[in-house]
Amino acid sequence: MRRKDREITDRLKIESIIKNTHICSLGMNDNGEIYVIALNFGYKFDDEKLYLYFHSAKTGRKISIMTKSPKVGFEMHSNTSLMIGETACKYSYTYESVVGNGIINFINDDEKKAEILELIMRHETDKEFKFSSEMLQNVAVFELVVQNFSCKVHK
């Protein structure tokens, strides 16, 4: 990271930023063409390892791409606000961001799918939900095992 003065390494602060962010963009390689899609998500820190969780329809472009090429990049940001400058080059934005990469694993076990969907919904709504067998059979659930990430804040 070029701007070390903006880097955040404290795990509690990073987790707070992730908790307050509700859209994560995944970038993937579709035979040399970059494809990026924004998704809502859930997350878990297990010791120092970060896992991001997503759901979608069982078919479609992102599913096809990630099946062939499971290495993806991700970006999430929040708390953005325009910073006014005296000249065009002095304008900026405040933000809190987490970026990184990792490997996608598709989850096929219904019990694990339900746990992950509960994490996603708790992250998005702070509410508890239950999922029927039919719901679980009709949804793709996938986990991003994050290999590398960094967190940056500009205030």
Tell me the pLDDT tens digit for each residue of 30-40.
999 999 999 99
Residues near 63 by beta carbon (within 8 Å), at least 6 away in sequence: 56, 57, 140
Q: What's CA 125's distance to the chain center, in Å?
A: 16
- Per residue in 71-90, pLDDT (tens digit) is 999 999 988 888 899 999 98
Taking a C-beta distance cutoff of 8 angstroms, is the pair 3, 152 a contact?
A: yes
- CATH T-level topology, domain 4-154: Pnp Oxidase; Chain A (2.30.110)
- Number of C-beta neighbours around residue 54 at 10 A: 22
- Give the residue among 40, 38, 66, 68 at the shortest CA–CA distance from 53: 40
- Per residue in 52-67, pLDDT (tens digit) is 999 999 999 999 999 9
Q: What's CA 139's distance to the chain center, in Å?
A: 18
